[in-house]
Amino acid sequence: MRFLENGYLSIETHRDRPTIVRFFLSAEPPDPEAGVQAVQRIRYIARFNDREAALMHVHEVLKRRLIDPDAHLYRVPVERAIAAAESLDLRHKRIYVDTEFGDDAHASIAAFTERFRRNARRKEIFFQTLGYIGIGMLLFNLFFLSFL
């Protein structure tokens, strides 16, 4: 039996490859100020009640952009990566967002977050509808075809 592991999901970028992001998990909050002038820089930190589930759900949102599954590298703009984490329907709290993001970046994050949430809701409605259709077919078979 697996217990929920509280922890932090962070997003990191590399100075030379700004469109490639790395997600990583930690039990303690990483220090974003330590890497301000470094080659690798933390751009986002959020605390999740279940950090493994958070990484799994982020992967589900961004799976088509995966580059390296072992290193958790994705070819995606950092704003979209942050939006993927923000859009999760898991209990979380944003701890840090890079201070260099301007208004355009924050607007982009909000737009992508809303888009990801809307897509998740559409999937949920689609599968609920399929379930109702399946139940309807079972009831039809039970009540009408069993009397023939």
Domain boundaries, given as residue ranges, for the chain:
7-145
Q: pTM (2 decimals)?
A: 0.84
Phi and psi of 114, rounded to 5°? -65, -40
Mean predicted confidence (pLDDT) in 102-122? 94
- Which secondary-structure segment (H or E) carries 72? none
Q: What percent of the chain has pLDDT over 90?
A: 70
Mean predicted confidence (pLDDT) in 32-56? 85
User: Measured between alpha carbons, how far is 86 from 79 in angstroms, rounded to an integer?
Assistant: 10
Mean predicted confidence (pLDDT) in 116-140? 95
Task: Give yes or no for residue 2 having a pLDDT over 70.
Answer: no
Instruction: Read off the tokens for 46.
Output: 């959020």
